[in-house]
């Protein structure tokens, strides 16, 4: 009897919706009758659910809840939620291959430009990090076995990083307008998408395939959080520099330590792909090496970073300490890092230590640098005191 009563309610609701032309009453195409009937019953049950009393929620509040939250419910979300409502209640279900392919809005996707940008980083990673996994970079099998996931990951990160850099080129007042949700020119619609991405979870779409392939670990999640933090600091510091706001040295040092998070993601991925436990000594040593490489790159790219308003340690130090003291403070920072590097280098296997130093010397020379952390000397470029004047002079000379 209860079942019959529910069917009668559903039928009355369908007739009521048809009378108000909320749904079509002319389903004469026999090929689609069953489909229309299913749709009608689904909508009728949904209406019946909405009109049921629930606490102090009135109709207006219920409609507002639906309007606010329905756009967030996607095919992938429903498929992932389904196991939680099954008899087993297994919420650890991983989305299958089909669910990864049904909704392109819920997939991590990369463009050709991002793949091309990521290529040099991938090459350096293979030549510099494979040796820490007892892998021979000269054997094509070693590279191509893991290249798809490594290339996909680095390309996706590069795509986000390039968007972050573009964000820094937009005038501050336009950023404020965008963040408040006002309309901007159509040809800058990518900015709106970028802001939405960074306001939510930029690595969310990358997490899904990682989980699907059993590659996601808490340490990788942590590096994703570090990436978000770095980009936020980069935007904060570069905007502060151009708007003459105060810059904290703690923020600068935190940013430079986080900057190579993509290398750490790739390295942790390689441990997962090979089914090996993470070697903490190697990770610590490589993090110090990455820090020194970032400092060296900042010295090499200093003038370009001033022109492009990119994050650069020397730029920040000039603002914090002044033009005369900044080089000294930077040299102190380099010296402290080199001491830690040398200590950890002695803890490595001698063969690995030798091979890595040889590789670093190759990389430094191939990059066109005649000085740096692995050739025994550092060269801090002349400080640019007035960046606005420097950019103006450069623009006029062109």
CB 260 within 8 A of CB 124: no
Alpha-helical regions (H) of the chain:
2-19, 33-51, 59-69, 75-81, 97-102, 112-129, 140-168, 172-179, 189-199, 204-212, 218-242, 249-258, 261-274, 280-300, 302-308, 313-321, 326-347, 350-366, 387-397
pLDDT single digits (tens) 302-357: 999 999 999 999 999 999 999 999 999 999 999 999 999 999 999 999 999 999 99
Residue 215 lies in a domain: yes
CA distances in angstroms from 264 to 69, 107, 272, 339, listed in the order given: 36, 23, 12, 22
Q: Are 186 and 78 in contact (CB under 8 A)?
A: no
SS3 of residue 141 by DSSP: helix
Number of domains in the chain: 1
8 A C-beta contact, residue 237 and residue 251:
yes
Residue 257 covered by a domain: yes
Among residues 315, 320, 310, the alpha carbon closest in space to that of 384 is found at 315
Percent of the chain with pLDDT over 90: 49
Burial pattern 224-255, b for ≥16 Cβ within 10 A else e, equals bebbbebbebbbbbbebbeeeeebeeebbebb
Residue 220 has pLDDT above 90, yes or no: yes
pLDDT score recorded for residue 63: 82
Residue 266 lies in a domain: yes
What pLDDT, on a 0 to 100 scale, did the predictor assign at position 397? Answer: 85
Rounded to the nearest integer, the mean pLDDT of the chain is 81
Contact call for residues 108 and 208 (beta carbons, < 8 A): yes
381-397 residue pLDDT tens: 999 999 999 999 888 88
Least confident span in 30-34, 200-204, 376-380: 30-34
Phi-psi region of 24 (alpha: psi -120 to 50; beta: other; left: phi over 0): beta
> Residue 251's domain spans which residues?
112-397
> Is 376's pLDDT higher than 50?
yes
> Is residue 62 in some structural domain?
no
- Tell me, yes or no, whether 383 lies in a domain: yes
User: Is 279 inside a domain boundary?
Assistant: yes
Asked whether residue 70 is assigned to any structural domain, the reply reads: no
What crossing angle do the helices spanning 218-242 and 140-168 adopt, rounded to 10°?
A: 30
More confident residue, 15 or 323: 323
**pLDDT tens digit sequence for 342-354:** 999 999 999 999 9
Better-scored residue on pLDDT, 172 or 314? 314
Q: Does residue 140 register a pLDDT over 80?
A: yes
* Domain membership flag for residue 182: yes
The 10s digit of each residue's pLDDT in 66-105 is 777 776 665 545 655 555 554 445 554 443 434 444 454 5
């Amino acid at each position: 009897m209860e079942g019959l009563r529910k069917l009668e309610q559903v039928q009355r609701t369908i007739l009521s919706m048809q009378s108000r032309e909320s749904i079509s009453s002319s389903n004469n195409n026999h090929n689609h009758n069953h489909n229309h009937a299913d749709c009608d019953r689904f909508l009728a049950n949904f209406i019946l659910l909405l009109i049921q009393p629930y606490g102090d929620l009135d109709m207006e509040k219920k409609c507002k809840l639906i309007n606010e939250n329905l756009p967030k419910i996607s095919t992938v979300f429903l498929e992932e939620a389904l196991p939680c409502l099954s008899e087993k209640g297994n919420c650890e279900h991983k989305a299958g291959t089909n669910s990864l392919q049904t909704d392109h809005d819920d997939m991590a996707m990369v463009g050709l430009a991002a793949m091309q940008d990521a290529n040099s980083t991938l090459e350096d990673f293979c030549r510099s990090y494979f040796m820490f996994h007892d892998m021979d970079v000269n054997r094509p099998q070693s590279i191509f076995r893991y290249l798809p996931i490594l290339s996909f990951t680095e390309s996706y990160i590069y795509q986000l990083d390039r968007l972050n850099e573009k964000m820094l080129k937009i005038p501050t007042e336009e950023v404020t307008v965008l963040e408040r949700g006002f309309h901007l020119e159509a040809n800058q619609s990518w900015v709106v998408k970028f802001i939405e991405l960074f306001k939510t979870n930029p690595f969310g779409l990358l997490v899904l395939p990682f989980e699907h392939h059993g590659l996601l670990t808490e340490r990788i999640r942590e590096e994703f959080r570090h990436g978000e933090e770095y980009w936020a600091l980069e935007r904060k510091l570069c905007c502060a520099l151009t708007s003459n706001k105060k810059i904290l040295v703690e923020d600068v040092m935190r940013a430079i330590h986080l900057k190579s998070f993509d290398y750490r993601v790739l390295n942790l991925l390689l441990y997962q792909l090979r089914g090996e436990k993470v070697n903490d000594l190697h990770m610590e040593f490589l993090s110090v090496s990455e820090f020194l490489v970032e400092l060296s790159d900042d010295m090499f790219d200093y003038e370009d970073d001033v022109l492009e308003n990119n994050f650069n340690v020397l730029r920040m130090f000039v603002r914090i300490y002044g033009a005369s003291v900044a080089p000294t403070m930077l040299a102190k920072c380099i010296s402290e890092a080199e001491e830690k590097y040398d200590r950890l280098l002695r803890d490595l296997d001698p063969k690995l230590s030798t091979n890595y130093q040889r590789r670093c010397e190759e990389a430094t020379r191939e990059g066109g640098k005649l000085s740096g952390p692995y050739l025994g000397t550092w060269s801090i470029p002349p400080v640019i005191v007035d960046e606005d004047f420097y950019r103006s002079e450069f623009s006029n000379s062109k």
